[in-house]
Amino acid sequence: MKNLLKILFAVVLFGALFTTSCKKDDVEPDPVEENENFATLKTYLTGNSMDLSDVLGSGATSFITTASNVYTINTDADPNNDFYIIDIRESGDFTTSHIENSVNSTLADILTTADGHDNIAVLCYTGQTACYAVTALRLSGFPTAKAIKWGMSGWSGTNGTDKWTDNVGDAGTNSSNWAAAPGDLGTITNYGDPVLNTSATDGPGILKEQVTKVLDGGFAAAAVTNASVLDKPSDYYINNFWMAEDVEHYGNIKTAVRVKPLTLAGGEYKNYNPAAKAVTYCWTGQTSALVTAYMRIVGYNAFSLKFGANGMVHTALNSHKWTAASGASDLPLISK
């Protein structure tokens, strides 16, 4: 009997040891919480003057400038204050006509093209892709980079360079999904933090990885048409990036909310829905392109509504309104 008990004890002990050993072998290191990456990036951005409000800037630090301002500075007597102009249009269009001393690049390669330069001005067709690019530049060591307002359309409206006139209209005014003035905004909700998946775990590394994703993905993948949004607003989380009085004057897309200001430090980002297609619209699609790039970098499935209010309530606009007569400066171009 004693021998039998010894055998049974040995079997139980062996089984316990075997089970414990298997569990130890199977245990994975505790994974880093995905939201920790967002928290790390948020701390890094807010601690280094790279919150969205910093990237947008204001006055002399604004993310956008005019074609006439760039031309005036680049043709004055002081060559030291010249803008380094990066043109991100297609190479064929650049060859046909471009700004003197500008360089041609792509959105994906813009950081490489910008390397070693400051006082950068980015040019595209309409200003929207340029604003998207400026977000990446301002978060990557070029805090004074600017986009040229209206793009090449604002530099010269002749010779087929006007890409704005054919894209303005009253799609919102004519839609049943536009809430007429004084507007009817949705209720703001606290959605918490987004989930941010990155291989990097430190602030600079996460930022670099996210900026690269945004540039490689391109602006086309981050832009939606007003037809898509107005057709079924419920498919999107929509942010009207206007002042409250502007919504009261023009109305808004139905179901839209108004989250402005929108910062990490102030916590307003929590009012963006990280589980939805988050669309921002502004007056021209230029500010919303910058906001969209930023929100993508910090972990949102963000989109910019192309051409903004100019494509939805153009006739009614009292400001921020594209017309070829007022928008295009008709400044000189050269060809290769």
pLDDT-wise least confident of 1-15, 64-78, 296-310: 1-15
pLDDT, one tens digit per residue, over 199-223 is 999 999 999 999 999 999 999 999 9
pLDDT above 70: residue 185: yes
pLDDT above 50: residue 44: yes
Q: Cα(173)–Cα(252) distance, rounded to whole angstroms? A: 10
* Residues 6 or more apart whose Cβ sits within 8 Å of residue 246: none
pLDDT score at 218: 98
pLDDT score at 2: 42
Q: Cα(244)–Cα(334) distance, rounded to whole angstroms? A: 44
Whether the predicted model's global pTM rises above the 0.85 cut: yes
- Rounded to the nearest integer, the mean pLDDT of the chain is 91
Mean pLDDT of 90-95: 96
pLDDT score at 35: 85
pLDDT above 90: residue 85: yes
pLDDT-wise least confident of 12-21, 81-90, 152-161, 284-293: 12-21
pLDDT band at 91 (very low <50, low <70, confident <90, very high): very high
End-to-end CA distance of the chain: 102
Determine what percent of the chain is predicted with pLDDT higher than 70. Answer: 90
pLDDT above 80: residue 19: no
Q: Cα(210)–Cα(50) distance, rounded to whole angstroms? A: 14
pLDDT score at 257: 98
The domains located in the chain, with CATH, are 34-163+322-327 (3.40.250.10), 178-311 (3.40.250.10)
pLDDT, one tens digit per residue, over 124-165 is 999 999 999 999 999 999 999 999 999 999 999 877 789 999
pLDDT above 80: residue 24: no
pLDDT score at 34: 59
Mean pLDDT of 85-103: 97
Mean pLDDT of 191-195: 97
Torsion of the alpha carbons at 98, 104, 108 and 110, rounded to the nearest 10: -100
